[in-house]
Amino acid sequence: MRALLEEDVDVIFGMPGGAIIHTYDVLRDYPIQHVLCRHEQGATHAAEGYARVTGRPGVVLITSGPAGTNAITGIADAYMDSCPLVVFTGQVPTNAIGNDAFQEANIIGMTLACTKHSFLVNRTADLARTVKEAFHIARTGRPGPVVVDLPKDVLMGRATFDGYPRTVSIRGYHPTENGHMLQIKRAAEKIARARRPVIYGGGGIVHSGGGAEVRELAELTRTPVTLTLMGLGAFPGTHPLWLGMLGMHGTYQANMAMSEADLIVAIGARFDDRVTCKLDEFARDCEIVHIDIDPSSIKKTVKVDVPIVGDVKSVLEQLNRQLAEVDQDWAARHAGWLETIEGWRQEHPLSEQTRGDGEFIRPQQAIAEIYNVTHPHDPIVTTGVGQHQMWVAQHFHFDGPRRLVTSGGLGTMGYGFPAAVGAQAAFPDRLVIDIDGDGSFQMTCQELATVRQSNLPVKIYIINNQYLGMVRQWQELFYDNRYTEVDLEVQPDLVKLAEAYGITALRAERPDELRSVIERSVEIDGPVLVDIRVAREENVFPMVPAGGALKDMLTDGGDIPDGYSQR
């Protein structure tokens, strides 16, 4: 506990059990808030939410065996999305390890593939050093989760506390911060020569705190910007140079700009399959500059012309200084390119999707209305995974980083609500809203007890279409409307469910109710659940079908081109 205080830990998410009970006994004597979650997966997602909005490692404290295995989904999610976590798991005593003791699980072995590092502490005297190294690894370089496995006898042992280590030195672990100047000069030269450049950014911008430097680069060179789902907010969503999100459900102008660009400046992104789509068609006639602190992400998927390994913020500071010295009329050079992009934007405006039909609430309309009501409060927004997640990305405009908290790489249903718990614990006075699907919400809805017990005023908006919506969309478009096991019409009355936990609940079923219900939910002091009943079979467009190139977008529900049926 003294080591955690040295790391400025103020909130822990978890649940006690036999192997970790001694630590919970000691926790009573220390000024650290503990949020009692109802499931270990919920605790890890809550810690992710805390980490994503603060930039500091989220901390999880759970027991052994099934507690550790329950947490693996959240650990894997954090690994995919570069989220710093330190997960403390109880373990059976050292002399019982390997003997199939009660509630024993090899959590170190199970998490090897989804952690930056794992520690099994064998001596009480090693606890302070291990905590120091765990937090250092979690937060530096490309952030990620670290597991610290704590045998019960080690926790109950005694050792002299010789003070918390001031420094840490781990052999073989020395992340590169500053970029190579020769490579930075080469990047500046390519940017100066480009006629159709695009800045493509990801979550690495947010992790490094490099949003201001990206904006400086874009405004200096008059270069349009598109971001991945994990990067949203790193560049203002209302800026004239903003293209919107790119990829499988990206905006028309973002995907077309990426397809027609002659230079892509990739910053803190990893060219995942949801962005590149058909890989052999991606950036075929385009040069690429790639900036990333993780050298394993560079050239892993696509050919890169100028690789730069380093912290995004530091590298961009160096790059912007180089470009400031270039004698170039950037506005004139890129005027034609920006005019072309504006034509694409006008050709396929997303705003058309938010118009209601008077009878049913369209989900896009619901998202837009939540944005209209809440954006003056500068809310933190979390989401589950599925159609509603993509509609939030398309219709919510984030003007700053750490406002959107969502599961990108792993795509974990059930993520949104507990992540909102963590975000609200980090900022008790901020408006935190979870925009969720009925399918995602039902996976972790037991955390309603957590917000009630911990007095966390999270606002929960369920975009309720009574389907596993994204799977249904694929079955409609690519499997001849053969809906199989996606109907969630049998579900609890979500208003009554919330009320059973002592939480205020509202419902909107008609377009004329929508705004007033959302406004009322924001005004209520305390947690609120809003069940928004939407049109059941609305689809997310644009959409790049599986196997298609970025420019092969479906922009409406018309006929699917030949060759895309999955049957």
Helix axes 211-221, 312-324, angle to 10 degrees: 20
Q: Is 466 left (phi over 0), alpha (psi -120 to 50) or beta?
A: left
- Pair 539, 557: CB distance under 8 Å: yes
DSSP state of 302: S
CA distance 544 to 43: 34
Strand order in the sheet with 459-464: 404-405, 380-383, 432-437, 459-464, 528-533, 504-508
For this structure, is 230 an active site residue?
A: no
Tell me how crowded residue 526 is: count the other CB atoms within 10 A of its CB.
14
Q: Decide if 152 is catalytic.
A: yes
Cα distance from N-terminal residue to C-terminal residue, the chain: 57
For residue 143, say if its preceding peptide bond is cis, omega within 30 degrees of 0. no
Going by C-alpha positions, the residue among 409, 397, 355, 346 that lies closest to residue 538 is: 355
Rounded to whole angstroms, the Cα distance separating 156 from 145 reads 25
- Is residue 443 flagged as an active site residue? no
Using CA atoms in the order 318, 319, 322, 328, what is the torsion angle rounded to 10 degrees? -160
Catalytic member of 230, 470, 543, 553:
470
Among the listed residues 7, 13, 40, 41, the single catalytic one is 40
Residue spans of alpha helices (H) in 151-228 = 152-156, 181-193, 203-208, 211-221
Q: Which of 360, 365, 336 is nearest to 350 (CA)?
A: 365
Residue 180 is classified by DSSP as P
Tally the residues of the chain: 567
User: Which 8-state DSSP code applies to residue 561?
Assistant: P
Q: In whole angstroms, what is the distance from residue 545 CA to residue 552 CA?
A: 8
How far, in Å, are 115, 234, 392, 405, 555 from residue 229 at the CA level?
22, 10, 10, 10, 19
For residue 40, indicate whether it is catalytic.
Answer: yes
Three-class secondary structure of residue 464 per DSSP: strand
* Amino acid at site 520: R
Paired strand residues for 225: 199, 242
Give me the DSSP letters along 246-301.
-STT--HHHHHHHHH-SEEEEES----HHHHSSGGGTTTT-EEEEEES-GGGTTSS
Task: Please tell me the distance from the alpha carbon of residue 277 to that of residue 282, in angstroms, as a whole number.
Answer: 7
Task: Say what the alpha-carbon torsion angle 349, 355, 361, 367 is, to the nearest 10 degrees.
Answer: 50
**Which residues lie closer than 8 Å to 379 by C-beta, 6 or more apart?**
403, 430, 431, 432, 433
Displacement of CA 430 from its chain's centroid (Å): 19
**Residue 33 is among the residues annotated as catalytic for this protein:** no
Question: Pick the catalytic residue: 103, 328, 453, 466?
Answer: 103
Element (H, E) at 85: strand 85-91
Selecting among 119, 132, 135, 152, the annotated active-site residue is: 152
Q: Are 458 and 525 spatial neighbours (Cβ–Cβ below 8 Å)?
A: no
Catalytic residues: 40, 102-103, 152, 470
